[in-house]
Amino acid sequence: MEQHWMMVVHAALIGLILFAVMVFGLRQQNEVAERRSILIASVALVYMILFGHGLPFKMNKI
């Protein structure tokens, strides 16, 4: 199992990439893109902490 800090780093990278795509690719306003990318990255972090990077067959020990 990966360490939790690495999952936080992965979620932050997901958020940054999503923000860049939303601002530069989809031409959204900065505030809207910021809120959406933070929301999606936080959901991804919760998912990774609970299930890891794989499919949700079993929960990780917290």
Domain boundaries, the chain: 4-51
Per-residue exposure over 25-41, b if at least 16 CB sit within 10 Å of its own CB, e if not: eeebeeeebbebbeebb
The pLDDT of residue 30 is: 96
The pLDDT of residue 2 is: 63
Q: Residue type for 4, please? A: H
Residue spans of beta strands (DSSP E) within 1-62:
none
For 14-58, how does the pLDDT look when each residue is reduced to its tens digit (9 = 90+)?
Answer: 999 999 999 999 999 999 999 999 999 999 999 988 888 778 777
The pLDDT of residue 56 is: 79
Q: Residue type for 26, please? A: L
